[in-house]
Amino acid sequence: MLSSSSLYSNPHPHLRLLHFRTPNPLSNVVLHLPSNQKPNATVASADLRRNNPTEKPSTNVSDPIQPEPRKHNSKSAALVNQYLSSGESPNPQNLEPPLPEEEKVKLLELSLVRKRTPQFPGSIYVQSPSDSDVGSSLPPLQSLFRNAGSEFDGEDDRKIIRRALEIRRKVTSEIFKEAMRKGKFGITYTDNLLGWLPDFIDFVMIQAASMKQLPEFAHLSFNLRAKTVIEESNVVPLIRWLKHNSLSYPQIGKLICMSKGKLESIRRLVEWLKGIHVKGGYLGLTLTKAGGNILERSNDELDEIVSYLESNGVRMVWIGFVMSRCPYLLSYSLEELKSRVEFFLNMGMNEKDFGTMVFDFPKVLGQYSLEDMNQKVNYLKEFGLEIEDIGRLLAYKPQLMNGSIEGKWKPLVKYFYYLGISKEGLRRMLTIKPVVFCLDLETIIVPKVQFFRDIGVRDDGISNMLVKFPSLLTFSLYKKIRPVVIFLMTKAGVREKDIGKVIALGPELFGYSIVHKLEVNLKYFLSLGIHTRTLGEMIADFPMLLRYNIDILRPKYQYLRRTMVRPLQDIIDFPRFFSYSLEGRIIPRHQVLVENHINLNLRSMLACTDEEFKNKVADIVEKRQRFESGNVDGSLSVVHTTRNSIDSTTLDDSLGETRED
């Protein structure tokens, strides 16, 4: 068992033991432990005799001179009592107990804070207004890392170091906020911007720490060094300038972090983008999306890219639009850009087609890899398209490159095969409306097909509709397709059982406006005296009746009623009358009938070829001559004469049914 005198013999004078103050020889103060502990020895500060360690001081509780124990020494006294009771020999180097986590954090904050914190009188860590540094009266930070002998203690030290870095970041952030306030920035804007500047704050913190090695900054505190770094970087004026150029604070924060301290490159590139007509709202987007090396590229390298694109059909007035929509082009080398341009030119595109394609969809040139584009071109060849056809297809609709083969094209083609569309039909759809291959299958195509099934269109009718009019899939189901169907059933008089037939025969009706086209034609037919239900039957027989312009319908109707002197019922029975050319078929054939005194209905008159019409008229004339001559058998001379007279009639050789819009 150690004596009390051995506890106070200090073989290492450079170590401070137990945080005891230097005892006053005139004082006779006895320290007592709390009442709930029973110590084996009592530590005195003045009258402890070194020669007689067994002598115990008076512990009479009735002594009126006894003072209150000092609370901040209770931990030290408890440690001494622990060693005395256990019989172990305490090491003077380890007599100081480890500080709790909360106290270590408090020491860090007091040592690293930027401003003095208010202290109450009698505080253990006194910060006097006369102190040159806020940590002058605090224990050194090295005292927090004394126990690093074991793995457990090393982990504690790493936690303290991480905590110290966090506190230092907060101090650096406060210095940055003060610089922003001096630059007339609001508190909210500064806080929002600071959330996007973690790398820049670390950069300032590292630079300020490295300045400690310079002789001219060695005597300065960290706060002054960090303030010097921020001022010399001119980051606050740069933020003001970028804000005036319509850059948002996330974009400004990303650019400052991307610059890695070279802030002058941001201003240089922004000026270059403004020189190629990039609009203010796209300046930040172009720089942040271009890639990490964009701030390291010189203006000469970027000028070479612009000159090469301009030489291949991309006009100078389009360059700003192209770069803002596809910033990846700025990060490519000139050799890689040339390989991408040659990929499209080898498909048979000329410079004009290439320039308009890039302007229409700039991402086609810079966003996709060459390997991916080659795979898509090879897949399109499987539909029977030549490389020149694919080139024309991409020049017209470059958005095709945005689709995925496995994720979009193959499921779409499989679904079309399920509907009964052949490969030739797919080739026609791809040629007429290539945007169909850009549509989403589950959200756009499948609901429309199901709607057509619900209104009575069969699967073979749906496949014929899509091949005949593939633009149907690009129309909105709720804004275009459904309103047209409702219009036909409610106002046009089409019955529910006939609506599927009407849609299958005339899918082109969905391409017209209800107000400006379909309703105008409907009112015209109703003005002729046709009832709504009768008009619905006419539309079911010939849905394209609502497609024609009024200026084409009116002359045909007037000729029918005034010249041909036909009743309205003839139009009701044969609404396809309006699909034939007035000058090319109706008038010439009517003149033949008048010259030969023949009366035929409209279907027999118009729904045949010219050769069939001639034979039909000749047979009627022959039968009439036989009847008039009383020669039932007829004669060859009469028939021959009749056919020659009809052949001499002037007819326009019109091929099939001539429809006019």
**The pLDDT of residue 548 is above 50:** yes
pLDDT in tens, 452-486: 999 999 988 999 999 999 999 999 999 999 999 99
pLDDT in tens, 61-101: 444 555 555 555 555 566 556 656 655 555 544 545 555 66
**The pLDDT of residue 130 is above 60:** no
In terms of pLDDT, which residue wins out, 302 or 32? 302
Structure tokens, 257: 């972090």
**The pLDDT of residue 655 is above 80:** no
**The pLDDT of residue 588 is above 60:** yes
Instruction: Give domain limits for the chain.
Output: 159-261, 581-625
Q: What is the pLDDT of residue 656?
A: 39
pLDDT in tens, 249-286: 999 999 999 998 899 999 999 999 999 999 888 999 99
Q: What is the pLDDT of residue 40?
A: 41
**186 — pLDDT class (breaks 50, 70, 90):** very high
User: How long, in residues, is the chain?
Assistant: 661
**The pLDDT of residue 586 is above 60:** yes
Q: How far apart are CA 133 and CA 111, in angstroms?
A: 9
Lowest mean pLDDT among 82-86, 207-211, 616-620: 82-86
Cβ contacts of 222 within 8 Å, gap of 6 or more: 168, 171, 208, 209
User: In 3-state terms, the chain is what percent helix, strand and coil (to 5)?
Assistant: 65, 0, 35
Unique residue bearing structure tokens 């009718």: 461
Lowest mean pLDDT among 118-127, 329-338, 542-551: 118-127
| C-alpha distances in Å from residue 250, one per residue of 174, 256, 284 | 19, 10, 9
Cβ contacts of 320 within 8 Å, gap of 6 or more: 273, 276, 277, 278, 279
**pTM attached to this predicted model:** 0.65
Cβ contacts of 406 within 8 Å, gap of 6 or more: none
Q: What is the pLDDT of residue 111?
A: 57
* Percent of the chain topping pLDDT 90: 54
Q: What is the pLDDT of residue 97?
A: 55
Mean pLDDT score across all residues of the chain: 79
Q: What is the pLDDT of residue 307?
A: 94
**The pLDDT of residue 33 is above 80:** no
Q: What is the pLDDT of residue 659?
A: 38
pLDDT in tens, 351-407: 899 999 999 999 999 888 999 999 999 999 998 888 999 999 999 999 889 888 998
Query: What 3-state DSSP class applies to 44?
Result: strand
Average of pLDDT values for 115-135? 53
**The pLDDT of residue 50 is above 50:** no
Nearest Cα neighbor of 578 from 605, 612, 542 is 542
Residue 73 near residue 124 (C-beta atoms within 8 A): no
Q: What is the pLDDT of residue 661?
A: 36
Q: What is the pLDDT of residue 161?
A: 78
Q: What is the pLDDT of residue 606?
A: 92
Four-residue CA torsion sign, 484, 488, 490, 495:
negative
H-type helices in 397-495, by residue range? 410-419, 423-432, 446-454, 459-468, 482-490
Average of pLDDT values for 601-619? 91
**102 — pLDDT class (breaks 50, 70, 90):** low
**The pLDDT of residue 311 is above 50:** yes
Q: At what angle do helices 316-325 and 299-311 cross, to 10 degrees?
A: 120
Q: How far apart are CA 496 and CA 115, in angstroms?
A: 83
Q: What is the pLDDT of residue 103?
A: 61
Average of pLDDT values for 222-241? 93
